[in-house]
Amino acid sequence: MAHWMRGLERLAGKWGTQIGDHTPFASDSYTRTRIYVGTGAELWLLGWMPGQGSTVHDHGGVDVAYVVLAGALEEEVFVADDAGRVHVIAARRVTVGGVVACDGYAIHRVRVVGSTPLVTVHLFAPRYVGGRDFEPAEQP
């Protein structure tokens, strides 16, 4: 995964602005556009408007790394208890150029921070086939 993360850092440094300029956005949900499919990996371009975020989810065993090309995000990381409820155990803010990696069964949620649209490129290895959504438990 470290090799993929370095590649995403290079992509952000060299092409980040141009890719960001061609990102589709939608008012009702973030957008996903597959931009590359290879043997064992694929890249997705995601466009997020302020206020948008993902569900609490995993990636079905597929490893993922992503880089922020524009805007900022908050990623919350969850853990499941014995009853299957998920609880936040960590949160971090990621800004332009930041790269995050998750194993395929990590449970997380991504949200836009601030008033600037968010652009991310996600690398899935192997190809993404779908994950599971979770309902977060009530926080005390």
For the chain, the domains span: 2-128
Q: What does the pLDDT look like over 4-50, one tens digit per residue? A: 666 666 666 666 666 667 788 999 999 999 988 988 889 999 999 99
Distance from C-alpha of 127 to C-alpha of 47, rounded to nearest angstrom: 20
Per-residue pLDDT, averaged over 118-133, amounts to: 90
Alpha helix (H) ranges present in the chain? 2-21
Q: What does the pLDDT look like over 37-57, one tens digit per residue? A: 988 889 999 999 999 999 999
Distance from C-alpha of 116 to C-alpha of 10, rounded to nearest angstrom: 23
pTM: 0.86
Please identify, in words, the CATH class of the domain defined by 2-128: mainly beta
Distance from C-alpha of 132 to C-alpha of 129, rounded to nearest angstrom: 11
Per-residue pLDDT, averaged over 90-102, amounts to: 93
Per-residue pLDDT, averaged over 59-77, amounts to: 94
